[in-house]
Amino acid sequence: MINFIFSIIYLLVLIGIAIIDKKEHKISKKILLVGFIVEAIQIIYLYINNKYHLIEYLIYLVIFVILLIIDTIIIRKKGESLYVLQILMLCMYMAIFTDKYIFAVTVIYTLLVIGLYILIGKISTIRKRRVIKKQNAKELAKLPIGFYLCIADILVLIYSIII
C-alpha cells in the first residue's frame, strides 16, 4: 500500500514536470525537489523494512545535490538555469525510482521519439518547400526533452507493470 502511494506521487511529479516543460521549456526545481524528498523518505522506509541496499541510491542523491549546487552557482553568475542541468537532475530522479534498466529503456524511447520528431519535421519541410532546409539550432533547443522523458518513463512503467 505504501509503495503504491509512493508510485502515485512519482507519477504526479512526472506529470507536473511534463506539463511545465511543455509550456515553459523548463523543469520546475520545486516539483523536482518535492519528488526527491519523497524519494528519500521511500529509500529510508525501504531500508528500515527490507534492509535495502543504500549505496546506489545514496550515489544518485549525491549526484543530484552536486548538480543542484552547480545549478545554483550558474544561476548566481548568469541569472538563469541551464536546461541541460535540469534534464540531468530529472534523469537522476527517474533513475532512483525506476531502476537503471527501466531508466535505460526510457532514455532509448525518448531518443527514438526525438529522432522521429526531427525526421517528421524534415519530411514536412521537404514536402512543403521542395528544398531541404537545415533546421535551426534554436528550433532544436526549444524541444521539450523533459516532457518526452517524463512521458516515455510513464509509458515504460505502465508497460513493465502490465508485463
Residue 132, pLDDT > 60, answer no
Domain spans in the chain, listed from the N-terminal domain onward: 2-162
Q: What pLDDT shows up at residue 69?
A: 93
Residue 59, pLDDT > 60, answer yes
Residue 162, pLDDT > 90, answer no
Q: What is the pTM of this model?
A: 0.86
- Strands in the chain per DSSP E: none
- Mean pLDDT for the chain? 86
Residue listed under C-alpha cell 512519482: 10
Residue 118: pLDDT band (50, 70, 90) is confident
What angle separates helix 100-129 from helix 145-162, to the nearest 10 degrees?
A: 130
